[in-house]
Amino acid sequence: MNSDDSTFETYFANPPADIDMEAFDRSRVPRHISCIMDGNGRWATSRGLSRGEGHKAGIVSLREIITACVRLDVEVLSAYAFSTENWSRPQQEVNLLMHLFAKTFIEELPLLHRENVKVVFLGDISALPEQTREVFEYGLKQTEDHTGMTLALAVNYGARAELARAARLIAEDVRAGTLDPEQIDEDTVAAHLYTAGLPDPELVVRTSGELRLSNYLLWQVAYAEFYITDTYWPDFDRWGLIRAILAFQGRDRRFGGLTQSKES
């Protein structure tokens, strides 16, 4: 994240030719934007670099998107950093990612303070290597009183595991006699997910062109708009984000109802 004192106007000055900032409606920016950061490996391979270099470049992009979302007054930015399935990658890559997560978090703490960003984790961070877990726990404490944007990092996250965990927690409440099974509704489930208390994502961005959800936020994205771009994550920048939001603003969100024109 850059140490800038930019405003919306300066951060988004000089857009590329295909973007019309006049058409951008600042009052209709999604409250919660979620990014499936895909393509670091392919970005690196296409340049003859190691996959690790791709992940490092991916961190630079994440930094820019965090700053962009703060300037846009987004309430929650979530990002899929490491899935429960990613443990099956070569041990060397897993080790590098865990090291990069810890290093990045420490390096970015001053910015998180300055930008008043609160970090939360989605996923089971207790199962991470000790050094990474300790840095994450330290970072959580350091940012817990921040009142600006929430940055929700999905690390060791899988949506099916999250739903199974929620069922387990609910069952424990029932067994303890604090919850009547008859009272279990959608709010009960939502309150037992890692995302409890956060608004659902309104916009999910997936980079690198894959048309999959990859076990990500299955419950929470029920009514989200999807934006898929072929751009690899390390090439995704503030303007990619603006294109995604412009596409979102052009969507007709019906939530299972009808558009006004069809109602009459």
Which residue's CB is nearer to ligand FPP, number 7 or number 92? Answer: 92
Catalytic residue among 2, 38, 156, 230: 38
The CB-of-142 to ligand FPP minimum distance in angstroms stands at: 13
Residues 155-174 that bind ligand FPP (CB under 6 A): 155
| Residue 207 binding ligand FPP, by CB under 6 A | no
In angstroms, what is the minimal distance from the CB of 166 to ligand FPP? 23
The Cβ of residue 99 has, within 10 Å, a number of other Cβ atoms equal to 14
Instruction: Note if 185 is an active site residue.
Output: no
Structure tokens at 128: 């991470």
C-alpha separations of 44 from 39, 153, 238 in Å: 9, 23, 20
CB 153 to ligand FPP: min, Å: 5
Taking 3-state DSSP, the helix, strand and coil percentages for the chain, each rounded to the nearest 5, stand at 50, 15, 40
Q: Which of 86, 124, 200, 235 is catalytic?
A: 86
**By the rule CB under 6 A, 41 interacts with ligand FPP:** yes
Amino acid identity at 39: G
Question: Could you say which residues in the range 65-94 bind ligand FPP, by CB under 6 A?
Answer: 81, 86
CB 50 within 8 A of CB 243: no
Judged by CB under 6 A, the chain residues 92 through 121 that form the site for ligand FPP are: 101, 104-105
The stretch near ligand FPP (CB under 6 A) out of 10-18, 34-42, 222-230, 239-247 is 34-42
Write the CA distances from 214 to 38, 126, 157, 254, integer angstroms.
11, 22, 11, 25
In the annotation, is 38 catalytic? yes
Q: Give the CA dihedral 201, 122, 97, 67, nearest 10 degrees.
A: 50
Cα(203)–Cα(4) distance, integer angstroms: 26
**Active-site amino acid positions:** 38, 86
- Positions touching ligand FPP (CB under 6 A) are 37-42, 55, 58-59, 62, 81, 86, 101, 104-105, 153, 155
